Amino acid sequence: MNKILLIIFLTLPPTAILSLLLHSQDSIDSDQHRNNTLTISDDRIFLSAKSIEEYLFLQDSWRYHPGDDPRWADPAYDDSDWEITNTLLRKNNLPKSGWNGIGWYRLHITVDSLLLNKPFIIDKWQGGPSEVYLNGTLLFSSGTVSGIPESEMHPHERTPKTFSFGPDTDNVIAVRYSNHSWQHTFDTGFNAGFLFTIADVDWYVIHRTDSVRRITILQIFFTAIPLSLALLHILLFLYYPPYKENLFYSISMLGFAGITFFAFYDEHITTANQQIVYGSFVYFFRGLTLAFLTMTLYYLHRSHIPRYIYLVAAITIAIGIWGYFHPFGWREDMTNIFMGLVIGLLIYEMFRPKLEQAKGLWIVKAGFVILFITVGYQYLVTYNIIYPIGSIVETYIYGALALSASMTVYLSRKFGHINRNLEVQLEQVRELSEKTLKQERQAKEREIERRLLEADNRRKTKELEDARNLQISMLPKEVPKHPGFDIAVYMKTATEVGGDYYDFHTDENGILRVAIGDATGHGMKAGMMVAVAKSLFHQLAEERDITGIFHKFTESIKMLKFEQLYMGMTLARFENGSMTVSAAGMPPVYIYRKSSGKVEEIRIKGMPLGSFSKFPYEQRIIPLSAGDTVLFMTDGFPEIFNEKRELFDYHRVRMLYSEIGNEHPKYIIKDLVREGEKWSNGRTQDDDITFVVIKVKN
C-alpha cells in the first residue's frame, strides 16, 4: 500500500498533492497505523529496520505545547504533561490546548540499533516556518520562526535534509513551529501545520530523480503540444481572417497550455502559498479554455454563434477568474459543477439529432468521446466515488489532448479544402498567363541586371584608372643623384589602387630629405590624399623639426575634412653622417650596419597624420657610417599572404635584409621583390608595395 501511495504522491498535480498532504485525509492516518512494522504508542514511536526500508510519514504521537521556550529543544526536558496531537493543524481538529500562532512539537523515537548512524532523508511540507532539533541539536530551519506575526518569514525552499540517529537508540525530535496566518490558510481550504517524511537516502534519491524527470517530461510534453497548436492556428487565422474558428481555437489552446504548465509545476514549488497560487492558475486557464472551445465548436457548423453562447463563454471566463481567487472548498465544487455543465452543453451540441453533418465532423466527435470518458472518470475519482486505477489520476488532460488533436486535424482539413477550392477557381487564369508573364519578367530582369553590371563596371574601371594615373603622377620622375648616397626605389600597385607615396628633396647644401607614406582607403580618395601629401612635403621639407612638419600636415588634412581618411608617413633627413627620422603610423625603418653585418630596427610609434592634433610624435637622430644601408617600406610587403593565409611578417623582412643589406640598393630591392613573389606563389597582391633604399657611399 505504501508503494502505491508514494507513486500517486509523486504523480499528482498540485491541488491533489495539497489535498493529500494538508487536507483532512484519513487515508494517510489509517495507512500509517496499518503498517505492522511500525509500532506506535501514546508516548513514542518504535522504529525498526523493516519499517524504514523505503519511506515513512511522521505525523502522529507528537507532544504539543503552545508558546515558545528554547528549553523545549532539550531531549531531557520532561514533556509528559504535554498534549498528544497530530501535526497537520486541521481546521476542525486543532490542539485542545489551543493554537495562538507559535508552539513546540516533540516526538520520542526508539530506534532499532541497526539504524544508528545510518544516513536518512527528511522531507517536509509545511504551511509555516520551522526549526527542527534532533536530541537538542538544530538539524535545519526553514523560514524564520517568530512569536511576532510581522517578524515571521515563510520558507521559500523545500530541499530535503540528511540526518542520522545515533549513538543512542532513544531520540527526541523537537520542532519549533509558527504560523500566524493560519486562519487565512483555513479559508483557502488547507491545513496550517506540517508533515515530515523520512526515507532511506539511496531509495529517496533514485525515486526523487525518477519523479522529477517524469513530471518534467510530462510538463514539457503537455505544454509544448497545445502551444504549438495555438501558434499553428493563429498563423492560419492571420492568413485567412474570415475563418474565425482558428482564432478561437488558438486562444483555447493557449489556455490548455496554461492548465498543463501549472498542473505539473509541483516539483518547482517551495511553499504552501505557492501551491495555492499555482493551483489557482489552473482554474483561470480552465475557464479560458472552455469558453473559447465552446465558441470554436459552434462555429464549426453554424454561420453565426448564438448570443446565449457568448453569455455562456463570458460566465465561464468569469467563473475561471473567480476560481483563481477562491480555488478551494465549496467554491471548487461549484466551479467543477459549472465546468461540467459547459462540457455537457458542448457534447449535446456535437451529438444533437438535427445537427447538419459537416464533412469530417466525425473526427471531432471521436475526440469528444475520449474527453467524455476521461472527464467522467476524473469526476468519479475527485468525489471519491471510485478509486483511481493505478497511478492514473488526472485523466482529463489526456482527454483534452485527444480533443485538441482531433480539432486540429478537422480545422486543418477544412482549411485545406478551402484552399483547394480557391486553387481550382484560379487554375485556369494562372495557366493562361503564368508562362508569358514569367518569361517577360525574367527577360526584363536579365536586361536590367546586364545594364547595371555594365554601368557599374565602367564606373569602377574609370575610377580605378584615374586613381592609378593620379597616384603615379605624384611620384618623382627620377631618383635623385646624390654624391653621398646610392638610392633605389620600387613601387607595385595592387589590383585596386591604394595610396602609397614616396618623394625626395635636396636643398642647396646637399641635405637629402626622404618621404614615404601610405594613405588609408582606396581609389580616388586615396589619390587625393597623396596629392595633398606631395604638396605639403615640398612646401615644408626644409623645416628642421620633423614633428612640427607632422603637426602642420595634420592641421591641413583636418581643414580639408577628409572623413575617415588619414596618411601614414615616415620622414628622414640625411646630413653630417646621421639620419634624423620620425614616423606617423608606419612600419619600422631597418638599418644594415656594414661594420657588424647586423640589422637595427628603428620602431617609432605615432598616429597617422590627420587623426589627432598635437600628437607627441617622436624624433630620433641615428648616426650612419660608410657602407650602412637604410630600408624604408610600406606595410604591403610584410603583409603579403601565402596560400596558407600566413603573413610574410616583419621578422622575415629583418632576417632577409640582414642577408642582402650589404648589396647595392637596386639589388637589395630586386632580392626583396623576388622573395615576396616566392612567398605569395602567384596569389593576388592585396596592397601596394613600396621600397626606398639608401646606402651611404664609402
Dihedral of alpha carbons 671, 673, 674, 675, sign: positive
What letter represents residue 70's amino acid? P
Partners of 589 in the β-ladder: 602
Report how far residue 244's alpha carbon sits from residue 260's, in angstroms, rounded to the nearest whole number: 25
pTM: 0.44
Chain-centroid distance of CA 546 in Å reads 55
> Could you report the per-residue pLDDT of 642-678, keeping only the tens digit for each?
988 899 999 999 999 999 999 999 999 999 999 999 9
Report how far residue 363's alpha carbon sits from residue 48's, in angstroms, rounded to the nearest whole number: 58
Question: What is the mean predicted confidence (pLDDT) over 409-437?
Answer: 71
Sequential DSSP letters for 379-390: HHHHTTSS--BT
Phi, psi torsion values for 21, nearest 5 degrees: -90, -40
Partners of 489 in the β-ladder: 692
Question: Residue 510 region, left (φ>0) first, then alpha (ψ -120 to 50), else beta?
Answer: left
Contact 418, 241 (CB under 8 A): no
Dihedral of alpha carbons 156, 161, 165, 167, sign: negative
Cis amide linkage into residue 483, ω under 30° from 0: no
Chain-centroid distance of CA 226 in Å reads 23
Report how far residue 497's alpha carbon sits from residue 471's, in angstroms, rounded to the nearest whole number: 8
Quote the pLDDT of residue 189. 65
Chain-centroid distance of CA 165 in Å reads 45
pLDDT mean across residues, the chain: 79
All cell numbers assigned to 381:
475519482
Report how far residue 2's alpha carbon sits from residue 418's, in angstroms, rounded to the nearest whole number: 57
Report how far residue 527's alpha carbon sits from residue 11's, in angstroms, rounded to the nearest whole number: 78
Q: Where are the domains of the chain?
A: 35-192, 213-423, 474-696
Look up the CATH architecture of domain 474-696. 4-Layer Sandwich (3.60)
Percent of the residues in the chain that have a pLDDT greater than 70, as a whole number: 76
The DSSP call for residue 456 is H
Look up the CATH architecture of domain 35-192. Sandwich (2.60)
More confident residue, 93 or 66: 66
Question: What is the mean predicted confidence (pLDDT) over 165-174?
Answer: 87
Residues 6+ apart with CB under 8 A from 110: 44, 45, 46, 47, 169, 170, 171
> Could you report the per-residue pLDDT of 512-535, keeping only the tens digit for each?
999 999 988 666 777 778 888 888
> Could you report the per-residue pLDDT of 449-459, keeping only the tens digit for each?
878 877 776 77
Measuring CA to CA, which residue among 223, 237, 244 is closest to residue 404? 223
Report how far residue 409's alpha carbon sits from residue 361's, in angstroms, rounded to the nearest whole number: 10
All cell numbers assigned to 102:
507559535
All cell numbers assigned to 200:
532511506
Inter-axis angle of helices 396-473 and 245-263, to 10 degrees?
A: 100
Look up the CATH architecture of domain 213-423. Up-down Bundle (1.20)
